[in-house]
Amino acid sequence: MFNNRATINFLEEDQQFHLNNGLISYIFKLSSDGKLLQLYYGKAIPDKDYSYLIEMHHRPMTTYRQENDLLYSLEHLKQEFPEYGTTDFRHPAISLRQENGSKITDFVYLKHEIFNGKPQLENLPATYFENDSEGKTLVITLKDKVTNVEVELLYTIFSDLPVITRSSRVINKGSQVQFIEEIASLSLDLPDADYDWMQLSGAWGRERAVKERPLQQGIQSIESTRGISSHQHNPFVALKRKNTDETSGVVIGTALVYSGNFLIQAEVDTWDVTRLQVGINPFGFQWQLNPTETFTSPEVVLVYSNCGLNQMSQTFHQLFRKRLARGVWRDKDRPVLINNWEATYFDFDEDKLVSIAEKAHDVGVELFVLDDGWFGERNNDHSGLGDWFVNKTRLPRGIGSLAEKIRSIGLKFGLWFEPEMVNKESKLYKEHPDWMIHTPNRKENHGRNQFVLNFGMQEVVDEIFNQMCSIIDESKLEYIKWDMNRPLTDVYDARLESSQQGEVFHRYVLGVYRLYEMLITKYPNILFESCSSGGGRFDPGMLYYAPQAWTSDDSDAIERLKIQYGTSMLYPISSMGAHVSIVPNHQTNRLTPIETRGNVAFFGAFGYELDLNQLTEKEILVVKKQITFYKKYRSVIHNGIFYRLISPFDCDEQAAWMIVSEDKKTAIVAHYKILNKVNQPYKRLYLQGLHSEFVYQNDDQLYSGSELMNVGFIISDASSGQNNEQNIRPETYDFDSRIWVFTQKED
């Protein structure tokens, strides 16, 4: 997939950097006093001197860099690494508090380096190259003379994708302690503000809803202050031109590869310049940087599309699937799983689990996942977390014996863990009450009766690792669902100095990454699924460790349309855990046909979350067909190119999307009707991404690709309001859905 088309040119004479891969250009230059001035980011343009783009005007109430000069003010310049208080008044990319209390810095160019390849970020998740020819990296070193602090700005351009990644390293080469109060991984000044800001926001059970608003003078932002990326806001924003839709127009998408507190903001100044900044949330953050130490900021991904949102999403999908997710499961077909959570909650014993597993095997399921409740004294959600050894009351023969039993039925075996948590009713808490995050002499606030372990402490991570290893070895686990069910409160670490308390959130996230890394290194064949009360930590950082995530605790098929549609803005279909659950649905009480529940869950990492023994014979036949369908097409679904066709957010009671295989020979199209209506208008669906000249077959009908994309495909609802014999599909009902497969007809 990659040919090295990436170039990074430095025009010595013009002091200009140009990152280009034939798809995009990113251009900036050095000012005469060593500042980095942003010139252009967008569709690829030729290499030449673009200095003329720098506009300097004398304006009232402006401050200037040089005495006797009334032109050079950072307030009026677009920059790459802005600072506050040295003529710019917008938000900075860095704020460094020094021992004397000053936060004024003046970082200027020291040197740069350009090389093939992409350096790994220490202890942080990031996109990667498989070989150095996949792109190029520019590292610019800036230096503040007074503090002797250096900042390395890392820019990587991918060869064959419209992608640039950014991050920074702050290195204390001075002799004094410095405090990093703000460090944006990306700061990008755009020349105007004619954009709509799109964010993915919501709550537990309704994650990643698409929300938009026009940019306006002032700051617009999303953030997390919860210690996890959160259900409320996903670390992603797109800036869309006004005419941009799914298939056309310019859009810039940005996402932070990080799972903790983040901030994404766009500051539109009074001259309509937009400053887009992405990074760790400065709220609650401060990092003490001792002499010789380095702080690395998480990676930001910047994606450009001039063919609308679908193209932006397809770029994110390809990048995240192939160059963020890692390990054996990156490229492997994901197993059809059954999870017992909604089937049993805490009410299970071995016989019940085995009966579910047996039925699951009969219908073609491949993996059995035992969810919460198998460990410690976990009989409800008041106890047990922290004790990762089997609950003998429930599973008297042990976890190894259950695993063997499940395997003898013919299924793989997986387990749920919530490694970061502790209940006060647990052996772990009794032995180590000080391991729990809390603030001394203050009330301890719980969430779901549980408390958060201080993953900033290596001994905590080691203890949980050892406990998990025993269980993994005993039961030879093939899958782990790693859950996280509450935000962080009372954040404090008594082992750290008072000046280091602003580090606790970030140290926690690094601890979570450390445990993941230890586990995937020791057990490279385990498939990890991340989870945080559904999609509370569905972020690019997690995808580096776990190639799939439980998308939402809301398993209702109709609710899932919006959730999966929003999630698909940047996350690949293969990353979205999607299960068929029982009706009435446990979150909405809604009754939806089992066919529709399958038709929605197909567009994800597919599975079931119900007791199949409770289904009718007729439903079981449907389930068997669903699994056969999914196994036949899962590789197309997971590796194909996804197109959103009709948005469930547009309120027309419908949604549609499709996937086309990379060779364009197969296309799977889905249309979902939400509420039934009477005497409906005629409707066509205009397909996308097909080969115009291929002849496609669906049932006995043949169509050319160009026909399906331009003439459209009839999806009119047969209902006239009277269910009579003349109707081709007489039974119409709420929550109906249809799936069509088009395959190239070879002669």
Please list the active-site residues.
483, 553
Residues 283, 260: Cα–Cα separation, whole Å: 12
Which one, 112 or 382, has the nearer CB to ligand DGJ? 382
Question: What gap in Å lies between CA 10 and CA 188, rounded to an integer?
Answer: 19
The separation between CA 656 and the C-alpha centre of its own chain, rounded to angstroms, equals 22
Interface of this chain with ligand DGJ, residues 159 to 218, rule: CB under 6 A: none
Q: How far apart are the first and last CA of the chain?
A: 29
**What CA–CA distance (Å, rounded) separates 22 from 115?**
18
Is 553 labeled as ligand-binding?
yes
Which residues contact residue 675 at a Cβ distance below 8 angstroms, ignoring those fewer than 6 apart? Answer: 653, 734
597 is in an annotated binding site: no
C-alpha 174 chain-centroid distance: 37
740 near ligand DGJ (CB under 6 A) = no
Query: What are the residue ranges of helices labelled H in 299-417?
Result: 308-323, 341-344, 350-363, 398-409
Cα-based torsion angle of the residue sequence 185, 187, 193, 195 in order, rounded to the nearest 10 degrees: -20
Residue 392 marked in a binding site: no
Nearer to ligand DGJ, 174 or 577 (CB): 577
Residue 554 is a binding residue for ligand DGJ (CB under 6 A): no
Selected binder of ligand DGJ within 281, 311, 533, 599 (CB under 6 A): 533
How many residues touch ligand DGJ (CB under 6 A)?
11
Minimal distance in Å, beta carbon 94 to ligand DGJ?
37
* Closest to 159 measured CA to CA, from 291, 322, 280, 278: 322
> Any known ligand binding at 371?
yes
Q: Considering beta carbons, is residue 531 or 582 the nearer one to ligand DGJ? A: 531
Q: Which is nearer to ligand DGJ, 172 or 230 (CB)?
A: 230
Question: Which residue number, 198 or 421, has a Cβ lying nearer to ligand DGJ?
Answer: 421
DSSP structural state of residue 119: P
> Binding site annotation covers 372?
yes
At closest approach, how far in Å is the CB of 452 from ligand DGJ? Answer: 15
372 part of the interface to ligand DGJ, by CB under 6 A: yes
Q: Is 425 in the site for ligand DGJ (CB under 6 A)?
A: no
Near ligand DGJ by CB under 6 A: residue from 531, 576, 622, 690: 531
Give the nearest residue (CB) to ligand DGJ. 372
In whole angstroms, the minimum distance from the beta carbon of 373 to ligand DGJ comes to 8
Name residues contacting ligand DGJ, limited to 609-668 (CB under 6 A).
none
- Residue 448 known to bind ligand: yes
Pick 162 or 607: Cβ nearer ligand DGJ: 607
Known binding residue 427? Answer is no
Instruction: Choose one: 243-251, 458-466, 531-539, 591-599; the region binding ligand DGJ (CB under 6 A).
Output: 531-539
Q: Which of 387, 553, 556, 595 binds ligand DGJ (CB under 6 A)?
A: 553
Contact range with ligand DGJ by CB under 6 A, out of 37-45, 526-534, 712-720, 725-733: 526-534
Rounded alpha-carbon distances, angstroms, from residue 251 to 54, 301, 382, 644: 24, 14, 47, 16
Residue keyed to tokens 């203890």: 463
Instruction: Please report whether residue 534 would count as binding ligand DGJ according to CB under 6 A.
Output: yes
- CA 161, CA 303: separation in Å to the nearest integer? 8
For ligand DGJ, the binding residues in 23-52 under the rule CB under 6 A are none
Pairing of strands 527-530, 367-370: unpaired
> 183 or 428, CB closer to ligand DGJ?
428
Q: 75, 182, 371, 529: which one contacts ligand DGJ (CB under 6 A)?
A: 371
Tell me which residue of 560, 629, 636, 573 sits closest to 605, measured CA to CA.
573
Nearer to ligand DGJ, 189 or 371 (CB): 371
Is the CB of residue 136 less than 8 Å from the CB of residue 21? no
> Which segment (23-31, 407-415, 529-537, 680-688) binds ligand DGJ by CB under 6 A?
529-537
Both tokens assigned to 713: 């495909």
Is residue 550 near ligand DGJ by the rule CB under 6 A? Answer: yes
Long-range contacts from 458-465, C-beta under 8 angstroms, 24+ separation: 458/511, 458/514, 460/432, 460/435, 460/511, 461/511, 461/514, 461/515, 461/518, 463/428, 463/432, 464/388, 464/419, 464/420, 464/515, 465/515, 465/518, 465/519
Nearest distance from residue 483's CB to ligand DGJ, in Å? 5
Measured distance CA(669)–CA(384) in Å, rounded: 45
89 contacts 270 by C-beta, under 8 angstroms: no
Residue 581 binds to ligand DGJ (criterion: CB under 6 A): no
DSSP single-letter state for residue 333: P
Q: Where are the alpha helices (DSSP H) in 486-556?
A: 504-522, 540-543
78 is in an annotated binding site: no
Q: Is 485 annotated for ligand binding?
A: yes
- Closer Cβ to ligand DGJ, 120 or 380, answer by number: 380
Among 366, 463, 483, 503, binds ligand DGJ (CB under 6 A): 483
Among the listed residues 107, 128, 341, 713, the single contact to ligand DGJ using CB under 6 A = 341
Helix intervals (H) in 578-692: 594-601, 617-639
CB of 371 to ligand DGJ, least distance (A): 5
The two counts, helices (H) then strands (E), for the chain are: 12, 38
Binding annotation: 204, 371-372, 448, 481-485, 531, 553
Give the residues lining the site for ligand DGJ (CB under 6 A): 341, 371-372, 416, 483, 485, 531, 533-534, 550, 553
Binding-site annotation, residues for substrate = 204, 371-372, 448, 481-485, 531, 553
